[in-house]
Every structure is written in C-alpha cells, then in structure tokens.
Amino acid sequence: MVRNVQTLEDFYGARYNTGTQPDPGPGTVERGSHAALHVWVGEATSSGEDMGNFYSCGREPMFFSHHTNVDRLWTIWRDLRGSKTKDFVDSDWLDASYLFYDENAQLVRVKVSDTLDNKLMGYDFQKVDTPWLKNRPVARAKKSKVATTTAAPSVDSTIFPAKLDKVVKVLVPRPKKSRSKKDKENEEELLVIEGIEVDTAKFVKFDVFVNDEDDNPNTLDKAEYAGCFSQVPHKNSTRAKTKIRLGLSELLEDLDVEDDEKILVSLVPKAGGDDITIGEALFDMFLHLSEYFNEIYSHFLEAEDMEKKIEQSEEDD
C-alpha cells in the first residue's frame, strides 16, 4: 500500500471527477491489503457476508478497527511525502460531501476537505517504528535474462483480449533504459494494465510479477512482486472496466535490470480468474512527471477553478 507509490493517483486511485466513467482505476490504498482483509474475514460463501461484501461489511465489528488501520497507513504515506503534494486540489474532490448521523442522531454534512487533517478531527496516531519501510524485498534472481530467453509473446500480440483463467505472460518494452538518479527523481516508471473487465459482485484477484524466474505464485516477499488487482464484492452484479498503475522504478533497481529494453510481466490469477478479462488495451509503460510538475498542474487547476467561480459570480450579478 505504501512502498513503491510515488504519485497521488497511484495511491488514491484515478481521478474521479464530474463526468468520469465509473471505476476509473483503484489505487494501492484500496486494492491490496485493504481488500484482502475484507475477504479473509468475510464468510466463505459466494456473497461473503458480512465483512466480505460492501453492502454488509459495516455489520462486522472488525470493520472499524480495520479501517482505522487503513487510516493509519494513509497517515504514514502522507507523512513520508514531506513537502510534496499530499492531496488532489480539484474542487470536485475537495468539495464532495456526504451525510452522516452524529452522536445525537442528527444528520451532518461532511466534505472531503474536512477530513484531511486528523488533528482537526480530534485524534492522531502514535508514532511507532516502521521497519518494513527499511527492508526492501530481496530479488530471487538479479540481472535476470528471462526477458530475452522467454517464449512469451510481445504486448502487441493477438492473444488479447483473454480470460485470466491461467497464468498469462507477456513481454513489455520499456520507455527508456539506463536512467540516471535525477531521471528517477523527476519521473516514475509505471506499468499500466488497462482494459481489466470484472464482475463487481464477485471477489477477483490477480498478482503481477516482473522477470520472475522463481515462478512460485504463492511467494510475495520478493522484489519481483509488483502488486495486484483485487476488489471487494458489491451486492449488485455489473460488468466494470478499469485499470491499475504499478510503480516500477524501485523494483527495477532491486532486480538490477535497468539497462534492459524489455521486461517479462506475469499475471497470476488468485481468485475468480474465469471472471477476469484483460482487454485489447493491455499494457503500457511510461514515465510519470515528478511531483514538481504535478504541483504546477495543481496550481493550474486551482486557478482554473477560481476563474470559473468568478465567471459564475459575474453571471449571477
């Protein structure tokens, strides 16, 4: 949830503003350990009550301690960013509001912007050691040549769209190799998997590995593990199309393959593979601009929002 996540969109998920299509893409805060605990605690049934389904999870007492811990991890991630932007500045997000019953059974409206500072809401988390941040997973095979010896097809092959009812491997070209330290500070190398189609009423999960010679899908404590896609089931069944973005800069360092032109990506279904389809818009790798440029964009959005408010005020007058 926290490591290998350098950009706001990769942590929070894709921007979801007015006019955005449903399920634009979950971030690490949602699709990893958050979804896993929901499903582990939920009943071993198709619906997964209580904890394993969105409509019923609030009936499970552990739900509240679980989400408190998610809140704690979110706080850790924010603190690690230092002076970097910690939240989206879009007014659509900051001004989005929700109705809750307070301790007096009265409805109150709460905006997203009201919830971004724990201390203003009357609580804080104890500062404790986080040794897992200093212990990066070890590569099973450094300088692996599996991407040059594999018989796996390239990303532009005709095997897609395909159901993920078995392990799928594909070669993906990198946008740039042999990047300097400054390059990495300015740009995050991302693997984007698009066209993921799933049934929202079912628990589905697949893991993503890069240059994995070990080929043991049950071993995640290794540098070759890039991340996962998973979802907590909803009560109503619909087909959703979404995507995920995985940060690779640190992973490629650990594997010592930064000079390679291609990487071997493995998709390993863990649950509901028959209900997962990877569409034609399969993979892409690109470099994401640094937070410096993100902040410039954020200030642009603020100015644009202010201009709209001024125009609206003039029209009202």
Q: What is the per-residue pLDDT across 285-308, written as a single tens digit (0 to 9) for each? A: 565 544 434 444 454 555 566 666
What is the band of 316 on the pLDDT scale with cuts at 50, 70, 90? low
Q: How confident is the model at residue 149 (pLDDT cuts 50, 70, 90)?
A: very high
Confirm whether 263 is domain-assigned: yes
Q: Which amino acid, 12? A: Y
Residues 217-226: what's their mean pLDDT? 85
Residue 186: what pLDDT?
79
Which is more confident, 256 or 17?
256
Domain presence at residue 2 = no
What is the structure's pLDDT at 294? Answer: 46
Calculate helix-pair angle for 62-80, 33-41, nearest 10 degrees. Answer: 170
pLDDT number for residue 290: 44
Number of folded domains that form the chain: 1
What gap in Å lies between CA 251 and CA 138, rounded to an integer?
10
If you average pLDDT over each of 88-97, 108-117, 172-181, 288-297, which comes out highest? 108-117
| DSSP collapsed to 3 states, the chain | CCCCCCCHHHHHECCCCCCCCCCCCECHHHHCHHHHHHHHHCCCCCCCCCCCCCCCHHHCCHHHHHHHHHHHHHHHHHHHCCCCCCCCCCHHHHCCEEEEECCCCCEEEEEHHHHCCCHHHCCCCCCCCCHHHCCCCCCCCCCCCHHHHCCCCECCCCCCCEECCCCEEEEEECCCCCCCHHHHHHEEEEEEEEEEEEECCCCEEEEEEECCCCCCCCCCCCCCEEEEEEECCCCCCCEEEEEEEEECHHHHHHHCCCCCCEEEEEEEEEECHHHCEECCCCEEEEEEECHHHHHHHHHHHHHHHHHHHHHHHHHHC
Identify whether 47 is part of a domain.
yes
Q: Cα(310)–Cα(275) distance, rounded to whole angstroms?
A: 48
Q: Using 50, 70 and 90 to split pLDDT, how confident is the model at 160? A: confident
Q: Tell me whether residue 303 is in a domain.
A: yes
pLDDT band (50, 70, 90) for residue 175: confident
Which pLDDT score is estimated for 306? 62
* Residue 157 in this model has a pLDDT that exceeds 50: yes
pLDDT at 287: 58
Residue 179 maps to a domain: yes
Weakest-pLDDT range from 200-204, 266-270, 279-283: 279-283
Of all residues in the chain, the percent with pLDDT exceeding 90 is: 40
Residues 100 and 121: beta-carbon distance below 8 Å: no
Give the CA radius of gyration of the chain.
21
Output the average pLDDT for the chain: 85
- 239 domain-assigned: yes
CB 264 within 8 A of CB 211: yes
The answer to whether residue 215 is domain-embedded is: yes
pLDDT at site 47: 79
**Residue 186 is part of which domain span?**
8-316
219-248 average pLDDT score: 89
Burial 271-281 (b: 16+ CB within 10 A, else e): ebbebbbbeee
pLDDT-based confidence at residue 220 (cuts at 50, 70, 90): confident
For 39-43, 68-72, 102-106, 212-216, which range has the lowest pLDDT when averaged over its residues? 212-216
- Checking if the pLDDT of 109 tops 90, the result is yes
Residue 179 pLDDT: 86
pLDDT (tens digit, 9 = 90+) per residue, 248-276? 988 999 999 999 999 999 999 998 888 89
